[in-house]
Amino acid sequence: MGWLLLLVGLFVPRLVLAALWLFTTFPDRAFAGWFFPLLGFFLLPYTTLAYLFSMVHGGGVQGWYVAILVAAVLLDFGVVGGSKAKKRD
């Protein structure tokens, strides 16, 4: 089930984040407040999802979870940059 959620999260991260907030307690364990998760939902969804994963399953951003978080940041910037380039053409 976790792999299916991961695959769906690669295509529609906001849908997975919304489902996690509605049906699990993972966001409560990963984030202290509501502002940064809400900001991440709209601006950096892959990074928010990776941070949530690393905090819940890894106990913090350390080890391999740093690489996952960096890859998510690059993916978010690539999606934003790709959409701007497509809009310009």
With helix as H, strand as E and coil as C, how does 16-49 read?
HHHHHHHHCCHHHHHCCCCHHHHHHHHHCHHHHH
Predicted local distance difference test score (pLDDT) of residue 75 = 92
Predicted local distance difference test score (pLDDT) of residue 18 = 92
Q: Note the pTM of the prediction, 2 decimals.
A: 0.83
Predicted local distance difference test score (pLDDT) of residue 88 = 67
Q: Is the dihedral of CA 82, 46, 31, 33 positive or negative?
A: positive
Strands (E), the chain: none
Q: Residues in the chain, how many?
A: 89
Predicted local distance difference test score (pLDDT) of residue 48 = 93
Q: Could you give the CA distance from residue 23 to residue 75 in angstroms, rounded to a whole number? A: 26
pLDDT tens per residue, range 15-28: 999 999 999 988 88
Angle between helices 13-23 and 45-57 (to 10 degrees): 40
